Amino acid sequence: MKKNRKYSIFTIILALSLFVGFGWNSSLISASNTGDKTTNNQEEDVFRVGMEAGYPPFNWTQMDKSNGAVPIDGTKEYAGGYDVEIAKIIAKSLGKKLVIVKTEWDGLVPALTSGKIDAIIAGMSPTKERKETIDFTDIYYKSNLIMVVKNGSKYENATSIKDFSGAKITAQLNTFHYNVIDQIKGVNKQIAMDNFTAMRVALQSGMIDGYVSERPEGVSASRANKDFVMVEFKDGFKTSEEDTAVSVGVAKNSPLTGKINEALAGVSEKDREKIMDDAITNQPGTGKTTILTIIKDNGPMFLRGAGMTLLISMTGTVLGFAIGLLVGLVRTIPTPSKRSKKVIKNIVNGLLAAYIEFFRGTPMIVQAMVIYYGSAIAFDIQMNRLAAAIFIVSINTGAYMSEIIRGGIVSVDKGQFEAAQAVGMNHFQTMKNVILPQVIRNILPATGNEFVINIKDTSVLNVISVTELFFQTKTVAGTNFNYFKSFFVACVLYFVMTFTVTRILRYIERKLDGPDNYIMMANQMQVEKIPSLEDK
């Protein structure tokens, strides 16, 4: 089936976790890999299933519970599709309540091994590589490879892969789809793309002539957007069963495997076809899509995404600012004269410098993976996604803000320090009453910058399935196949957020600065008689 991705990101997590020096040991891994351990973390009567909810007709996100859709955990949205129907059958046979956990594709396997979900039902193929980390049940769907091309192009009526000689063809990165392109003689193989979104946009814009996909995805694409046509082959690609089959992923040695197989055995070949046909018919976004209909259908989803983005970036900026203030303050303490204190100061400064260098020197997207999945795999800590997101943004902003604040403190006129010292203030009194208020005013533009950057950069948190604006837009686009229009809406929303924030901060700056001239007013405050110095 789709997606034979290797565990590139999973491997990065492992390597980085070791690098960072997590207390790693084999018993810990095996502990979190066993099924009974994971079920201990969850309520016993719940069956938690991970899927992207953005890969129709297998799984998608919709706004209501029509056509038997199931609520997505932690959101107000619903998941529907072939995978959801299969999950319902399995949950019923297990006698447990079905919970759908919306998870990014790259996050599915880590989520399973770290016990955040009980099973992956997401159109996943049971490949050898995956079998090294997780177990698979029996097959629950089998599909053929097809080619999606542009409507009206010369490849529209192709019947054999030979017809694609000389065509610009690509497929999704790290999938077997990409490997089979080599079977076309004389093909102009393009660089693999990260996701279907990118390939569909590339196809629409004429950058490529076609991409390799599977039948359900092809049917959906051509139904949703008239620009796309699916080419089915009489003389097609040679594939192995492990590629075209789809089965349920479960934790190694999970007691669930047998029970799920029993449940799947009750679904006949005919039932499967029926479920798949229904899924293809029911999948959203088959009508005419305009920007207005996208907003109308998905308005709440966009707004919730924007709200989440704003919440994370604002909390992250505020907490990061606090961290930065603290670190900046400690780093500018004057060197004490006592030797023992000097050593302590040097150690603390060293640690703080290491913190700043590490978080400034690594991408936030990698930190997100390490912290969210790494903590679960290495330490068995199940972090709340939102908490993890805020944590990551905060410590990141903190690292940048520390340097901004340190620079701000250094740039305050030396006379201000001296005047404060001359009235007898100690370091912290000086900082609190005189220096920091000026620093904060001076670094306000830089802080605004960080806030704006955070609004935009929270989009990388979609890798840990935080339902911020980018993640929501991907879901919307994944179901209506209108990438330009969907992302245009997101684009406008991002701009509105950043522009508003910049304006507000500029207003605060002006307010803080006050006028340059003092208009002397009659002084109402001090009317009582003040004794002169001579009376003293």
Partner 1 sequence: MENVIEIKHLNKSYGTHEVLKDIDFNVKKGEVVCIIGSSGSGKSTLLRCINLLEKPSGGMILYNEENILDEKHDINKYRTKLGMVFQQFNLFNNHNVLSNCMVGQMEVLGRSKKEAEEVAMKYLKYVGMDQYINAKPKQLSGGQKQRVAIARALSMEPDVMLFDEPTSALDPEMVGEVLKVMKELAETGITMLVVTHEMGFAREVSDRVVFMNQGVIAEEGTPEQIFNNPTGERTREFLKRTL
Q: Could you list the residues that contact partner 1 (CB under 8 A)?
A: 337, 413, 415-416, 418-426, 429, 433-434, 437-438, 441, 514-518, 520-521, 523, 525-526, 530-534, 536
Distances (CA, A) of 409 to 87, 170, 427: 58, 53, 12
Task: Rounding to the nearest 10 degrees, give the CA dihedral for residues 203, 207, 212, 215.
Answer: 10
**Which residues touch 359 (CB under 8 Å, ≥6 apart)?**
367, 395, 396, 398, 399
The pairing of strands 46-51 and 97-102 is parallel
Query: Which residues are registered as beta bridge partners of 242?
Result: none
Query: Minimum distance between the CB of residue 512 and partner 1, rounded to whole angstroms?
Result: 9
Report in angstroms how near the CB of residue 349 gets to partner 1 at its nearest.
22
- Min dist. Cβ of residue 335 to partner 1 (A): 12
At its nearest, how many Å lie between partner 1 and the CB of residue 514?
6
Element (H, E) at 387: helix 385-411
| Whether the Cβ atoms of residue 53 and residue 60 lie closer than 8 Å to each other | yes
Question: Measured from the CB of residue 409, what is the shortest distance to partner 1 in angstroms?
Answer: 13
Residue with smaller CB distance to partner 1, 241 or 413: 413
Tell me how far, at minimum, the Cβ of 428 lies from partner 1, in Å: 10
Q: CA-based diameter of the chain, in Å?
A: 110
Q: Give the SS3 label for residue 232.
A: coil
Q: Which of 201, 181, 183 is nearest to 191 (CA)?
A: 181
Distance between CA atoms of residues 334 and 342, nearest Å: 10
Nearer CB in complex with partner 1: 264/409: 409
CB nearer to partner 1: pick between 201 and 444:
444
| Distance separating alpha carbons of residues 281 and 472, to the nearest angstrom | 23
Closer residue to partner 1, CB minimum distance, 268 or 526: 526
88 versus 441: smaller Cβ distance to partner 1: 441
Q: Residue 522 CB, nearest distance to partner 1 (Å)? A: 9
Q: Which is nearer to partner 1, 143 or 447 (CB)?
A: 447
**CA 85 vs CA 1, 58, 92, 104, 274: distances in Å:** 18, 9, 11, 20, 11
Which lies closer to partner 1 via its Cβ, residue 34 or residue 438? 438
